[in-house]
């Protein structure tokens, strides 16, 4: 028989253990979710399919982490539009702002002001100035993605092809990083390949279509268009289709599978690199919770349940290796 004082001792020990562990830890016993926090996700603009996929993953993860989640942003790819949103979030005392930047420097003063007020800032996809955020979730390594973009057209255009670039905006951080990386890879691996023009579609499907049409009509010798933006890739592919250039001009870029599926199956896009945007959105929320809790160091390592293990190096987290969509695998992905 267990004596009464033994029961009391056991109960006290269990109570002490519970106090040490905390009242509300996540299933992996690593994240304290006892306090409900407000986290905003601010994309470059509302409506673009890749950012909707981020939102889907973020919203699902927020429920698991006791996060009051808000998805909000400008209706066009505007740095000032993002600044206006940030000012509203600061006034409403949000705990964490997560964002993918239209401009690395124009957003910085407002985000630094948010940080001074105790708001954590997590950038993802396209970075802001490093002193204007706590952590940055980088989609892939830039050299790896630059290589993937070039190789996605080189096999079909040949090593001495004339290539056009159709990007989002002139000052978009991540697109410029990718363009620099692809140029470096192209110069080393395909020195006879030539970039004849770089145009911008402002992350708008209609403007990207017009830009794609202009490229093809102004440069009839172009056989490949690299469009490292979700709307730009769709616009470029639609332009190829509209002008009857299927099989003559090959497109690649950075768009979600739902948006490009028809063009992959028609052969306009043979290969297109990206990553799992839904899972990336989930990781953004996980890092937002860790950042708010003060549980993440500038150089660190952590494991996010169902997402993977990640290294933090100088406050930067690499999310994934490039995921290449082709006609053989694209139907496995729905986002």
Tokens of 138: 């980088």
Q: What is the pLDDT of residues 239-259, one digit of tens each?
A: 999 999 999 999 999 999 999
Tokens of 181: 């990386």
CA trace torsion 138, 143, 145, 146 (10° rounding): 130
Q: What is the pLDDT of residues 140-198, one digit of tens each?
A: 999 999 999 999 999 999 999 999 999 999 998 899 999 999 999 999 999 999 999 99
Mind giving me the DSSP string for 70-136?
EE---SSS-HHHHHHHHHHHHHTT-SEEEE--S-TTTSHHHHHHHHHTT-EEEEESS---GGG-SEE
| CA–CA distance, 27 with 153 (Å, rounded to integer) | 43
| CA–CA distance, 126 with 101 (Å, rounded to integer) | 5
Q: Show the CA angle centred on residue 97, arms to residues 29 and 28, nearest 5°.
A: 10
* Stated pTM of the model: 0.83
Q: What is the pLDDT of residues 278-323, one digit of tens each?
A: 999 999 999 999 999 999 999 999 999 999 999 999 999 999 999 9
- Please report which helix (H) or strand (E) contains residue 21, including its range: helix 4-21
- Quick count: other Cβ atoms within 10 Å of Cβ 124? 28
User: What's the Cα-to-Cα distance from 99 to each of 40, 54, 89, 186, 278, rounded to whole Å?
Assistant: 8, 11, 12, 30, 15
Write down the number of H helices and E strands in the chain: 10, 14
Residue ranges and CATH numbers for the domains of the chain are 23-139+276-320 (3.40.50.2300), 142-274 (3.40.50.2300)
State the helix-helix crossing angle for 230-242 and 205-218, rounded to 10 degrees: 50
Q: What is the pLDDT of residues 182-237, one digit of tens each?
A: 999 999 999 999 999 999 999 999 999 999 999 999 999 999 999 999 999 999 99
What is the chain's Cα-based Rg? 23
Asked whether residue 3 carries a pLDDT value surpassing 70, the answer given is no
Asked whether residue 16 carries a pLDDT value surpassing 80, the answer given is no
CA trace torsion 59, 129, 79, 70 (10° rounding): 20
Contact 44, 77 (CB under 8 A): yes
């Amino acid at each position: 028989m267990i004596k009464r004082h033994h029961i009391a001792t056991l109960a006290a020990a269990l109570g002490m253990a519970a106090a040490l562990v905390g009242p509300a830890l996540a299933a992996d016993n690593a994240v304290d979710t006892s306090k409900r926090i407000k986290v905003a996700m601010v994309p470059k603009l509302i409506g673009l399919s890749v950012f909707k996929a981020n939102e889907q993953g973020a919203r699902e993860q927020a429920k698991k982490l006791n996060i009051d989640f808000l998805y909000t942003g400008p209706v066009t790819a505007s740095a000032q539009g993002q600044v206006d949103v940030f000012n509203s979030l600061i006034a409403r005392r949000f705990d964490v702002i997560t964002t993918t930047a239209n401009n690395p420097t124009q957003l910085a003063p407002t985000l630094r002001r948010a940080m001074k007020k105790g708001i954590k800032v997590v950038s993802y996809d396209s970075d802001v100035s490093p002193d204007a955020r706590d952590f940055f979730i980088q989609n892939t390594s830039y050299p790896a993605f630059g290589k993937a973009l070039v190789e996605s057209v080189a096999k079909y255009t040949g090593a001495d092809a004339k290539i056009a670039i159709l990007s989002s905006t002139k000052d978009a951080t991540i697109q410029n990083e990718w363009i620099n990386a692809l140029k470096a890879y192209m110069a080393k691996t395909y020195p006879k390949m030539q970039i004849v023009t770089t145009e911008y579609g402002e992350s708008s499907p209609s403007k990207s279509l017009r830009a794609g049409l202009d490229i093809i009509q102004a440069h009839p010798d172009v056989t490949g268009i690299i469009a490292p933006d979700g709307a730009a890739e769709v616009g470029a592919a639609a332009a190829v289709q509209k002008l009857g250039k299927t099989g003559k001009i090959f497109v690649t870029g950075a768009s979600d599978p739902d948006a490009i599926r028809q063009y992959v199956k028609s052969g306009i896009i043979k290969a297109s690199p990206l990553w799992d945007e839904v899972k990336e959105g989930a990781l953004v929320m996980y890092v937002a919770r860790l950042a708010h809790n003060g549980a993440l160091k500038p150089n660190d390592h952590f494991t996010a349940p169902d997402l993977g293990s990640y290294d933090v190096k100088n406050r930067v987290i690499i999310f994934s290796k490039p995921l290449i969509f082709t006609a053989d695998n694209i139907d496995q992905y729905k986002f």
